[in-house]
Amino acid sequence: MKKKILSVLVALTVVASLTACSSKKAENSDNNNQKNPSTTTIKVFSNQTDRKTGQGLIEQTLFDNYMKENPNVKIEVEALDDEAYKTKFKAYASGNSLPDLVNAWGQPSFLNEVIDAGILAELNKDDYKDYGFIDGSLEGFSKDGKLYGLPRNTDVMAFYYNKAIFKKNGWEVPKTYADLITLAGKIKAKGLIPCSMDGSDKWPLSIFMNDLVAKLEGDYKTEYRKSIESGDFSNPSYKKAAELLQEAVKAGLFQSGFETSDYGTSLNLFANGQAAMYYMGSWEMSMATNPDVIPEVRDNIGVFMMPVVDGGKGKVTDIAAWNGGGYAVTANSKVKDEAIKLLNYMFKQDNWSKLAWENGVCMSAQDYSAYLTGKETAPQKAFTDIVTGSTSITGVTFNDLGTSEFKSLSEDLSQMLAIGSIKPDEFIKNLEEATK
């Protein structure tokens, strides 16, 4: 008797230890089946963690509307911040279990490896003919003539500035880079931080330099790609841009410890009125409506572009802009067609583009001129003018044009250059090596 009980116990232990992992999954699928057999569940993996403001709100609103219009569709969202998102994206991809609709970046550093691995579904280009996507905005999501995703926004890098502080002290928007450096000294003398910089994430520093190359070379879009492909950064403008960045740091343009200030900290320096300027992308235009930003700042946000450099060929209207974040559908999704339908719905006229604009969140990658009301916030107006008046755009910046390894190496280099631990010469040399 004892023996029998024993063997039963033994068997139970082994079975329990073997099935410990799989039992949860089985439960889940049972639940789903019981609820509603005809419901289609679309799983979405998003990098918009804040579902109540900004782009996350727009995304969620569109999902909610879609579910209302299609009661048999259920949308489940999983959201993580950028870095965590990228890590989990990879874990999902290697386990072949990516959600159906995913956030993606239309940049070679992210997209190339993903497309090569055959993870994303090809979209039908002709579907989007009358979606009003602006010229070239689908380029980032295309490879070898095939389209793999849709961009959310047009991103422009600019200086936000506090108009009230500028007015009070009689400062003017700098016309040249030299003016900017002089201005930095004046602002510092007043005990304020001239320009808040997110240096711990590194990419803003890379973009800063790319912005300078645009001011030195003018329309240089195709040349960046060539430099990355050939590993040739011998054009003196690259070195010059590196020198100019170091010059700015030496002059104290950025807050002390900028290399350790993360996104939130640097944003807050400006949002709390401690910094007079803030170098960041157009997606932060929603500061003008964000209740967390103090009113003295919120109502006084101005925008200016990287000023021209003496002797440079570029104009102030040669801007650093690109179409970055967006969406793609996974190739082996069980509800691929449904997911593509949802994606198309999001970017149909009067959806993403209109909502994003009306809420002052960002500029979509589509033609949004129909939604202009004249009641926009100051940064919204400024960015619209900047984009419509631009003479050239950089496209995806150089740090995002290579492999993901190049991205990480080149951004590390930008940071090391900025804190002066390498010289411009070494920066160029190491950059060339990183392309190999």
Partner 1 sequence: MQKLYSNKWVILSLVAPGLLTFIFAILAPICLSFYYGLTDFSGLGNATYVGLENYKNLMSDAAFWTALRNSILLAFGFILIQHPLAIITAAILDKLQGKAEGFFRCVYFIPNVISVAIIAYLWKFIYNPNFGLLNNILKIFGYNKEVNWLGSGMAIWSVLVVLIWHGFGWGMLIYYTGIKNIDPVLYEAAAIDGANTRTVFMKITLPLMKPVIQVNVTLAIIAALKQMETVYLLTNGGPGNETQFLANYLYKQAFSSFKYGYGNAISVVFIVICLVITVALNKMFQEKEVK
User: Where does this chain bind partner 1 (CB under 8 A)?
Assistant: 2, 6-7, 9-10, 13-14, 17-18, 83, 86-87, 90, 93-94, 113-114, 116-119, 193, 200, 255-257, 259-261, 265, 269, 274, 403-405, 407-409, 412, 415-416, 419-421
Residues 356, 182: Cα–Cα separation, whole Å: 37
Which is closer to partner 1, CB of 57 or CB of 422? 422
Residue 321 bridge partners (DSSP): 156
Unique residue bearing structure tokens 């290579």: 402
CB of residue 255 vs partner 1: minimum separation in angstroms? 5
- Our CB check for partner 1 shows the closer of 26 and 117 to be 117
How many other β-carbons are positioned within 10 Å of the β-carbon of residue 288?
A: 20
Q: In a 3-state reduction of DSSP, which class is residue 279?
A: strand
Contact 299, 379 (CB under 8 A): no
DSSP H helix total and E strand total for the chain: 17, 14
CB nearer to partner 1: give 390 or 408. Answer: 408
Nearest distance from C-beta of residue 363 to partner 1, angstroms: 28
Shortest Å distance, C-beta 204 to partner 1: 14
The single residue listed with the structure tokens 């190359």 is 213
Decide whether 48 or 261 has the Cβ nearer to partner 1.
Answer: 261
Q: What is the rounded distance in angstroms from the CA atom of residue 298 to the CA atom of residue 293? A: 6
CB of 195 to partner 1, least distance (A): 13
Name the minimum Å distance from CB 205 to partner 1. 11
Q: What is the DSSP string of 210-224?
A: HHHHHHHHSS-HHHH
Ramachandran region, residue 206 (left: φ > 0; alpha: ψ -120 to 50; beta: rest): alpha
Residue bearing tokens 């006229």: 349
- Rounded least distance, CB 89 to partner 1, Å: 9
Would you say 31 or 96 has its CB closer to partner 1? 96
Judged by CB, which is closer to partner 1: 220, or 398? 398
Bridge partner residues of 45 (DSSP):
78, 102
